[in-house]
Amino acid sequence: MIYTVTLNPSIDFIVRLPQLTLGEVNRMESEDKFVGGKGINVSRILKRLGKDSIATGFLGGFTGQFVKDGLLAEGIGIDFVKVDQDTRINVKIKADQETEVNGLGPTITPEQLEALKEKLARVTAEDVVVFAGSAPHNLGNSIYQDLIAIVKAQGAEVVCDFEGQTLLDSLAFEPLLVKPNHHELGMIFGKTLTDLDDIQQEAKKLLEMGAKNVIISMAGDGALLVTAEATYFARPIKGQVKNSVGAGDSMVAGFAGSIMTTKDPVEALKWGVACGTATAFSDDLAELSFIKEIYQQVEVVKL
C-alpha cells in the first residue's frame, strides 16, 4: 500500500480575473475549489492511475470536512486525525500575474500528534509512505524526522518531497525518492544551475548522501533521474502550461505508483514525467486519458 502524509492540507480556492488591482474591488471571472495539499495531490493522481493509497495527516472543521468529502467522492482511502481548528484555505489568484495567499493552518496538540504517530507505526515493510509539503506552524518541519523514523522502523520505504534543509535531513533515512527542481537543488548547494552536466553532478551529491533515486525537474527543459547505476534524461514535451500547482506532486505519484509494481526506475521516470506534464497542461490534476496520451510522447535517454 502507498500512504500519503499531508500534515497541513488545504482547500485550494482558485480565483481567475484579468488583472489584480490592489486597493480596489476586483471581480473574478471564474473560480474553483479543490482539495489541496501535496500528499493529497499524490493520492488523487494515484487513484487516476488505478493505484490505491491511504491519505493521512490532520483535518479539522468545515474546511476539513470539504477535503474529506472530496477524497471520498474520488474513492480515495482516508485515515486522518481530527483536529480542533479549521483546515486552512489557500487562495490562488490567476490574473496578469499569479499570486498566492496561503492559510496558516491549525495548531496541533501533543495528543493529536501522538495519534498520527500511532497510525504511522502500523505500516509494514510492504508499504511506501510519501511525505510531502510543509508542517503546521506549531510543529515545524523538524517533526518529519520523528515521523520518518517511525515509518522506517517498520521497514517501509519513504518518498520525501521537501525543499532545503528538510530535504537534506531526510537523506539520512535513505528515501526511495527525492525530487527537488533545479532551482531548489541550486539553493541547497549555493549555486545557480543551468547546465545539464552541472545539475547532474549536484544531483549525484544527494545520492551520495543517502537517496536511492533523485529526480530533478526542470520545468520546460525536461527532467533528470540519477540512480546508483546510471543517469537518465527525459526530454521536454511541448504544450501550453495551464497549471503549475500539483505538477511536481503528480510526478511523485507517477514514479511511486510505477516503481512499486515494476521495480524499474526508468519506467517509473516515464510515468512520473507523463503525470507531471499532463497536470501542467491541465486546469486541475490531470485525468488518466491525458496522462496516457502524454506517456506516449515521453522520450528517455541514458547519459
- Polymer length in residues for the chain: 303
Give 181's DSSP letter. B
The reply to whether 176-303 shares the fold of 1-19+32-171 is yes
The distance of Cα 172 from the centroid of its chain, to the nearest Å, equals 20
CA-derived radius of gyration, the chain: 19
Q: What's the pLDDT tens digit per position in 38-60?
A: 999 999 999 999 999 999 999 99
Q: Where are the domains of the chain?
A: 1-19+32-171, 176-303
Q: What's the pLDDT tens digit per position in 84-127?
A: 999 999 998 989 888 899 999 999 999 999 999 999 999 999 99
Q: Which three cell numbers stand for residue 222?
A: 525536461
Coil, strand or helix: which one is 6?
Answer: strand
Q: What is the CATH number of domain 1-19+32-171?
A: 3.40.1190.20
For the 176-303 domain, the top CATH level (class) is alpha beta
192 class by beta-carbon count within 10 Å (0-12 exposed, 13-18 middle, 19+ buried): exposed
> Strand pairing of 53-59 and 77-78?
parallel
Measure the CA–CA gap between 294 and 282, rounded to whole angstroms.
Answer: 12
Q: Which three cell numbers stand for residue 293?
A: 496520451
- CB–CB of 261/52 below 8 Å? no
Place 218 in a pLDDT band, splitting at 50, 70 and 90. confident
pLDDT at 105: 92
Q: What is the largest CA-CA distance in the chain?
A: 57
Measure the CA–CA gap between 74 and 43, rounded to whole angstroms.
Answer: 10
Residue indicated by cell numbers 507517477: 254
Q: 16 CB contacts (<8 Å, ≥6 apart)? A: 28, 29, 30, 31, 94, 95
Measure the CA–CA gap between 264 and 81, rounded to whole angstroms.
Answer: 34
Coil, strand or helix: which one is 198?
Answer: helix
Q: What's the pLDDT tens digit per position in 266-279?
A: 999 999 999 999 99
Q: Which three cell numbers stand for residue 179?
A: 525530487
Q: What's the pLDDT tens digit per position in 189-212?
A: 888 887 888 899 989 999 999 999
pLDDT at 283: 80
Q: 202 CB contacts (<8 Å, ≥6 apart)? A: 185, 186, 188, 189, 191, 193
pLDDT at 246: 87
- Residues serving a catalytic function are 249
Which amino acid type is present at position 97? Answer: Q
Measure the CA–CA gap between 9 and 29, rounded to whole angstroms.
Answer: 26
